């Protein structure tokens, strides 16, 4: 068996802030094979973006940041190499699609230049060849009249079109791994599905490994091979996507699934939202981080942190809970007036 494309081992990202150490990512391990897709799901603030950026090396050790543990990407120790070595990975081995297409394109640069500059840098293409390739990429991501669009400025495009440009930009130099950090959160509902479908079909066609980050478990449903559910800087549960939806083993996964609006539910149905709020990561609790909000919590949970272990389930499936759930989940929504 060959080494996986991505191996993250006990990764910690801590920000030194005036109020103390902010442990945004607090011991995450995961691995991804070439061409595989992984969903990372968790509430806002659970450390998904910081994890994605630390995996890529955009966040690394610095005056106010401490990264420990390791990230190996295509055989390169991302946090061990010199900055120039990291930059060689960016665009070519790993690329990122950001959350807000309104802000992730430079307002003073034409759409085409966003693509041609990396083509010229990484692939050494001539001006003309880069322009041709850029138009081709724009066509690939479903932008009509790509040649004309290439000459426009970002503000002349709609949000959905801009996100397509951002995707084209990420694909420009054929990365082996694409990290899409909430690529549809800032978009209209009608456009969200189109963008997710596009990402999925591109990943399959280009045999590109993908990490799809979302605060909404519904987004990754049916789109990724595996899901890692994140809570307060740690992985709560990681398993095949179908397994997580069918038999969630972590109470937090269960709660997340219950909060997905289902198609059958009436417009006025009340979603089961998760009560309470995530722990303060400046001073995380000693035991299980979910204990304060967990309906199954007992005294042991509050003192002893559960390790991320298989606990009897199929290989590749791990959960961080002392009392993993076993029964399949029945979708239940309370309905107003029902």
Partner 1 sequence: MTRKLALRVGELVLVLLIVSLGVFSLMALLPGDPAVAILGAGQPPEAYADLREQLGLDEPTFSRYLDWLVSAAQGDLGRSVVPPQSEVVDRIVSALPVSLQIAVMGLVMAMLIAVPVAMWSAYHEGGMVDRLISAGTFALLSVPSFLAGLLLIMLVVDGTGWFPRSEWVRLGEGDLLGNLHHAFLPALTVALAELAMFARVLRGDLITTLREDFILAARAKGMPPLRVLFSDALRPSSFSLVTLMGLSLGRLIGSTVIVEYLFSLPGMGSLVVNAANQGDFPMVQGAVLVIAVLYVLINAGIDLSYGYLDPRTRRAHV
Q: What residues line the site for ligand ADP (CB under 6 A)?
A: 15, 17, 22, 24, 42, 44-50, 281
DSSP string, 242-253: HHHHHS--SHHH
Phi, psi of 168 (to 5 degrees): -60, -40
What residues between 173 and 232 interact with partner 1 by CB under 8 A?
A: 173
- Let me know: does 250 contact 63? Beta carbons within 8 Å: no
231 binds ligand SF4 (CB under 6 A): no
For ligand SF4, the binding residue among 58, 323, 329, 333 (CB under 6 A) is 323
Question: Cα–Cα distance between 178 and 176 in angstroms, integer?
Answer: 7
218 touches which of ligand ADP, ligand SF4, partner 1, none (CB within 5 to 8 A by kind)? none
Comparing CB distances to partner 1, the nearer of 151 and 276 is 151
For Mg ion, the binding residue among 13, 14, 37, 49 (CB under 5 A) is 49
For partner 1, the binding residue among 68, 103, 201, 277 (CB under 8 A) is 103
For ligand SF4, the binding residue among 296, 311, 329, 333 (CB under 6 A) is 296
Number of CB atoms found within 10 A of residue 127's CB: 10
- Kindly give, in sequence order, each residue whose CB lies less than 8 Å from that of residue 117, ignoring residues fewer than 6 positions away: none
Question: Cα–Cα distance between 68 and 332 in angstroms, integer?
Answer: 41
Question: Cα–Cα distance between 86 and 100 in angstroms, integer?
Answer: 24
63 touches which of ligand SF4, partner 1, ligand ADP, none (CB within 5 to 8 A by kind)? partner 1
288 touches which of ligand SF4, ligand ADP, partner 1, none (CB within 5 to 8 A by kind)? ligand SF4
Phi, psi of 240 (to 5 degrees): -60, 145
Question: Cα–Cα distance between 248 and 255 in angstroms, integer?
Answer: 9
Under the rule (CB under 8 A), what is the footprint of partner 1?
56, 58, 63, 87-92, 95-96, 98-100, 103-109, 117-118, 121-122, 153, 155, 166, 169, 172-173
């Amino acid at each position: 068996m060959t080494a996986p494309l991505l191996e993250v081992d006990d990764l910690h990202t801590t920000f030194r802030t005036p109020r103390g150490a902010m442990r945004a990512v607090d011991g995450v391990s995961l691995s991804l094979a070439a061409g595989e897709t992984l969903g990372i799901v968790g509430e806002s603030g659970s450390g998904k973006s910081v994890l994605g950026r630390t995996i890529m090396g955009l966040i690394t050790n610095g005056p106010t940041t401490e990264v420990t543990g390791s990230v190996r990407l295509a055989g390169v120790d991302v946090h061990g190499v010199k900055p120039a070595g990291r930059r060689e990975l960016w665009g070519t081995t790993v690329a990122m699609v950001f959350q807000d297409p309104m802000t992730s394109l430079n307002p003073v640069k034409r759409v085409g230049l966003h693509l041609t500059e990396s083509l010229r840098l990484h692939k050494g293409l001539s001006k003309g060849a880069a322009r041709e390739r850029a138009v081709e990429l724009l066509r690939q991501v479903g932008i009509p009249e790509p040649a004309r669009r290439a000459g426009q400025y970002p503000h002349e495009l709609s949000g959905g079109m801009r996100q397509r440009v951002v995707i084209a930009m990420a694909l420009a130099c054929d990365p082996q791994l694409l990290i899409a950090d909430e690529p549809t959160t800032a978009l209209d509902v009608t456009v969200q599905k189109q963008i997710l479908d596009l990402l999925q079909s591109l990943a399959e066609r280009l045999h590109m490994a993908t990490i799809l980050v979302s605060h909404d478990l519904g987004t990754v449903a049916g789109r990724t091979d595996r899901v890692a559910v994140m809570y307060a800087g740690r992985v709560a549960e990681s398993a095949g996507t179908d397994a997580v939806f069918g038999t969630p083993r972590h109470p937090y996964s269960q709660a997340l699934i219950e909060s997905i609006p289902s198609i059958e539910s009436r417009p006025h149905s009340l979603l089961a939202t998760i009560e309470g709020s995530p722990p303060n990561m400046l001073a995380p609790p000693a035991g299980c981080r979910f204990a304060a909000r967990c309906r199954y919590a007992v005294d042991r949970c509050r003192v002893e942190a559960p390790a991320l272990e298989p606990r009897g389930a199929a290989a590749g499936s791990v959960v961080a809970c002392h009392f993993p759930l076993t029964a399949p989940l029945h979708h239940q929504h309370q309905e107003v007036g029902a």
